[in-house]
Structure 1
């Protein structure tokens, strides 16, 4: 029965993945969009900290953690996001509900674990309208000023799509203290952007629209190692290192120029296909190192640093201007606390309380200004009685960018809910 439930969830997740718009940020126009994945709900609630080798929760930020699994598990997470975007003169609000990841982890033996799943890695989603009015003022002989609009031009920019990852990984317990692991990821997706322009004063019957579509394909790998040791009979030290080598995505590009008529909807009058070259975008090399200290099944405090070689990134087309990329860094500080994980009389003592901070330079540079992102996280891991299953809830409050220099500041609140379903599988029955 549980296998049928998992198959149904996988199918539902796949259908929803292709229908969702994962972001509302104008910054997603550049590169391959907003990088959305920052770990499972458990990790994100600690600021994306990933150093802890949990035996029942799937950690997909470092494949070496698969070797720590003691139970077969399914992890599923989604987010409701509310973003207020503002400039020096305007404000806008947007809401999004997205599915963030689906992963399954299986302990093959006492030393080997495998994991596989699907991750919506990056998202493009924006709708921007720019209006230009030409104003003329005249004064008649009575001294009364008349203001006339002599021209009204409109530009609408839209984008949707993104890059998804299917991954397969394994972890191996090299010694009692050291795990190693690797995974392979297949990247795929479709990115579509358009620019619609038309004029109403003086009235022009037709407008124009440029549409660019990119089919994204590519493969990359992740490598990882973790270390865990007892400091004394009570406390433990944890450390992890994950490395993603530089990889390359191939983009099959098409471009259409349409003559359109704009009313309550947009009707295509004539279309011309423009030949554009296929392009390649590099995925930057990434190095993540972190350490933590704590008491197993009680509490943990850890810190992590991630370095990305984002300077190798580029835009999808060579004629996209206005942005460059630089090497970036992310700092994470977080942890968790469990009052009493095996308490039978007080449910609240079994809840996992999580918190963390995250600060990063995203690597995107617009008008010589680096786009920085800062967020604070808290979360709860609520166990279901009599099982190893947990419902995880996380709250993230953050800010990205700036409203000055003709840029956009994004203030966001994300509420995430995840299911971590763990159980023993492949156990031979003694009785039928």
Structure 2
């Protein structure tokens, strides 16, 4: 019965991820939106590390090779609450959004392999910007707005080649819709004009991973890991329309269509490499370091490719983090059985934006975050994981925007040792 409920819940998450608005960032205007790293709440609470880390009951979205150490069937569902403050150097605006962030199922295959399948967001669009400020120039206004996003279905497999060395592979299929709008209205003109772009995004990718772990003296274990996500393209198709419109109490009233054309383009992602290592003691503590690198993204054939206000450069990320578990089998104190996590992350997103409008003065949009979290044990190896992250993205220099954010993440991790055991009495 519980299995049917969990499968139904995964289907609900699939539908909800496809329909929800999960972003309020102005920087989601660019490309196919603000991109997300595939991370569990546990990983996010440790600064995003995971390429070298594996565990017998926790999922790992970074490295498929980690599934080789999985010993329990695990269901995991996560949510994200984002409290965002946008600062232009003069005024601030606050907005909050809540969304489901993933749903996944994983199970061991024998004693040396594991498999996982699930759905996660790839990117999200949710912006609304005006230019110029109506208080500065009340004669006209241009409003930029967008919504939508891209999600992915994935399947991962990991296997132990030797006692110390594991290999893994992951394939996924990304899909989604993005709407971009530019509306211009002048005070002495009866009709406004609007550019509307509707995009369908489809594509797949492949990732391969390795992990190595060696037990040292004093029960210490050293871990190393690496992943290589092969370069791939997301195909972008759709339509763009330019038309006039008027406004009433009921909203927009379209008038004459000026032009209507089809769109065919691509969002090209180059190869991404992630390297990491860590040191720890089994079910006691762990500390790890991770580095990720990717060359510049390219997008061809849709709205944001036509502007000189931005471009892409190389991106990279450095993460440090770990956990501490005082006493996993403590009887006298519940808080000794709680897992305490913390981490720090610095990321160059690869996005370069020119706030001057000249196309010659670009600023790198960087992202810095500090995170911590708790793993709260329940009965039968089940955990509730809570994560908290404070961070800053962007800058107020060069007429740009700085985002200060607080992310609260929550996940439920359920384990079932009897997935493949046939019941004798039902």
Shorter-chain TM-score bucket reads: over 0.9
Distance 2:351 2:327 in 1: 44
Residues 11/310 of structure 1: CA separation in 2 closer, same or farther (3 Å cut):
same
State whether residues 22 and 97 of structure 2, in contact with CA within 8 Å, keep that contact through their aligned partners in structure 1: yes
Pair 1:96 & 2:97 matched: yes
SS in 2 for 1:278: strand
Q: Whole-Å Cα distance in 1 between the matches of residues 293 and 299 of structure 2?
A: 14
List structure 1 segments (4+ residues) > 6 angstroms apart after TM superposition: none
Structure whose alpha-carbon radius of gyration is higher: 1
From the superposition, tell whether residues 407 and 210 of structure 1 become closer, same or farther in structure 2 (CA, over 3 Å): same
Is 1:37–1:100's contact at 8 Å kept on the other side of the alignment? no
The correspondence for 1:166, drawn from 148, 153, 171, is 153
Q: Could you tell me whether the CA contact under 8 Å between 2:64 and 2:208 is conserved in 1? A: yes
3-state SS of 1:225 partner: strand
Deviation at 1:280, TM superposition (A): 1.3
Kindly indicate whether the alpha-carbon contact (under 8 Å) linking 2:263 and 2:302 is maintained by their aligned counterparts in 1: no
Change (3 A) 1:132 1:54: closer
Per the alignment, residue 9 of structure 1 pairs with 9
- Cα distance in 1, alignment partners of residues 307 and 167 from structure 2: 41
Deviations 1:144-202 (A, max 9, x none): xxxxx9x62122111111111111111111011111000111011111100111123x3
- Aligned pair partner of 2:217 in 232, 254, 273: 232
Match of 1:187? 174
Q: 2:228 aligns with which of 211, 229, 243?
A: 243
Whether the 8 Å CA contact 2:384–2:412 is kept in 1: the answer is yes
The within-5 A match list for 1:59-74 is 59-74=60-75
In the alignment, which residue of structure 2 is the partner of 1:413? 406
Counterpart among 248, 254, 265 of residue 279 in structure 1 = 265
Aligned residues: 415
Structure 1 stretches of 5 or more lacking a match?
A: 136-148
Q: Distance in 1 between matches of 2:225 and 2:22?
A: 29
Alignment match, 1:22: 22
Report 1:253-402 matches (<5 A): 253-264=238-249, 265-312=251-298, 316-317=302-303, 318-367=305-354, 368-385=362-379, 387-402=380-395
Q: Deviations over 1:300-326 (max 9, x none)?
A: 111000011125456734423311111
Shift of 1:359: 0.2
Partner of residue 143, structure 1: none
Partner of residue 183, structure 2: 196
Aligned-residue offset at 1:127 = 1.1
Residues 31 and 314 of structure 1 are in contact (CA less than 8 Å); yes or no, is this contact kept in structure 2? no
TM-score (norm 2): 0.94
Measured after TM superposition, the shift of residue 8 of structure 1 is 2.1
From the superposition, tell whether residues 44 and 285 of structure 1 become closer, same or farther in structure 2 (CA, over 3 Å): same
Could you say which residue in structure 1 is the equivalent of 2:78?
77
Write the distance in 2 (CA, Å) between the matches of 1:428 and 1:188: 36
| Aligned-partner Cα distance in 2 for 1:155–1:316 | 19
CA deviation profile, 1:206-241 (whole Å, cap 9, x unmatched): 111110111101111010001111011411111111
Q: Is the 8 A contact 2:221 2:280 kept in 1?
A: yes
Distance change >3 Å, CA 409–CA 89, structure 1 → 2: same
Map 1:121-136 to 2 at 5 A. 121-131=122-132
Structure 2 partner of 1:34: 34
Q: Distance in 1 between matches of 2:110 and 2:259?
A: 55
Residue 48 of structure 1 is matched in structure 2 by 48
SS in 2 for 1:398: strand
Offset at residue 89 of structure 1 (A): 2.2
Instruction: Identify which range, 156-165 or 8-17, moves more after superposition.
Output: 8-17
**More displaced, 408-417 or 301-310?**
301-310
Deviation (angstroms), 1:61: 1.0
Cα distance change, pair 134–92 in 1 and its aligned pair in 2 (3 A): closer
Gap change, CA 1:314 and 1:296, over 3 Å in 2 = farther
What is the aligned partner in structure 2 of residue 217 from structure 1?
Answer: 202
**TM-score, normalisation: structure 1:** 0.92
